[in-house]
Amino acid sequence: QSALTQPASVSGSPGQSITISCTGTSSDVGGYNYVSWYQQHPGKAPKLMIYDVSNRPSGVSNRFSGSKSGNTASLTISGLQAEDEADYYCSSYTSSSSEVFGTGTKVTVL
Amino acid sequence: QITLKESGPTLVKPTQTLTLTCTFSGFSLSTSGVGVGWIRQPPGKALEWLALIYWDDDKRYSPSLKSRLTITKDTSKNQVVLTMTNMDPVDTATYYCAHTIPRRGAFDIWGQGTMVTVSS
């Protein structure tokens, strides 16, 4: 299956809110409430930020929130901070009983 | 505390078979709901989901790579093994193993990753 589509880059100033989109199809994002979001800093392993569309694992800041509408999921980072600068990937369960990642979005804090 | 660590060759030749081992601690793969998966990331590129095995030996594979992948578990050794046949230079990547949230496909704990280069 094809990777989920994310914008290549999103930027914002400290304190602002940004939203990253993740577009799939009815066979993945649109068909299941199993969308996850990962943060990856350079040279590091990814870190789970959101699962099941909008659930935050213990220890993840409540500045991170997730939502979904139709075939598009979104990750919103509010009160943007310097340490939020990283790559972000969405993933979704698929009708093939597997998962698929997104193309990735580089977040820049201006 | 859950930890995972990947091990295997750093260099393989084209057409060879790659065997990677994920050795974990802090949980048991015989516990209901638990899963361990493999993900890779070519240099400078996006993550790619490869395979996942659950506590009940349910195995899931990427449809595009299914013919080349095999995932197995050894519960007594706390290990999960991934084999990938017919390696090609495009398979050069960092390979990660990761623990899933119980009964979910989301990966909550990741290993550090191991870099594999395919070259003659």
d(CA A102, CA A36): 10
pLDDT at B61: 98
Pairing relationship of beta strands A86-93 and A105-109 according to DSSP bridges: antiparallel
Q: What is the mean pLDDT of residues A27-56?
A: 97
d(CA A64, CA A56): 8
Count Cβ atoms within 10 A of the Cβ of residue A102 and give its class: 0-12 exposed, 13-18 middle, 19 or more buried.
buried
pLDDT at A15: 97
| Closest CA relative to residue A92, chosen from A56, A50, A62 | A50
pLDDT in tens, A16-40: 999 999 999 999 999 999 999 999 9
Query: Could you tell me the CA-to-CA distances from B64 to B48, B68, B89, B108 in Å, in that order?
Result: 11, 9, 17, 24
pLDDT at B109: 98
Return all residues near A72 (Cβ < 8 A) that are at least 6 apart: A21, A22, A23, A24, A29
| Closest CA relative to residue B96, chosen from B118, B115, B72 | B115
Q: What count of Cα atoms within 13 Å lies in the side-chain half-sphere of residue B98?
A: 26
Ramachandran region of residue B113, left (φ > 0), alpha (ψ -120 to 50) or beta?
left
- Which residues does chain A have within 8 Å of residue B46's beta carbon, measured at their own beta carbons? 3, 89, 101-104
Residues 78-107 of B with CB under 8 A from A: 96, 101, 104-107
Residues 55-94 of A with CB under 8 A from B: 57, 89, 91, 93
Edge-to-edge, what's the strand order for the sheet holding A72-77? A18-23, A72-77, A64-69
pLDDT in tens, A58-105: 999 999 999 999 999 999 999 999 999 999 999 999 999 999 999 999
pLDDT in tens, B67-117: 999 999 999 999 999 999 999 999 999 999 999 998 888 999 999 999 999
The answer to whether the beta carbons of residues B80 and B72 sit under 8 Å apart is: yes
Ramachandran region of residue A104, left (φ > 0), alpha (ψ -120 to 50) or beta?
left
Residue whose pair of structure tokens reads 């995972």 in the numeric block: B4
pLDDT for residue A1 is more than 90: no
Two structure tokens written together for A9: 């880059």
pLDDT for residue B32 is more than 90: yes
pLDDT at B102: 85
Cβ separation B106–A91 shorter than 8 A: yes
pLDDT at B104: 82
pLDDT at B34: 95
Identity of residue A109: V
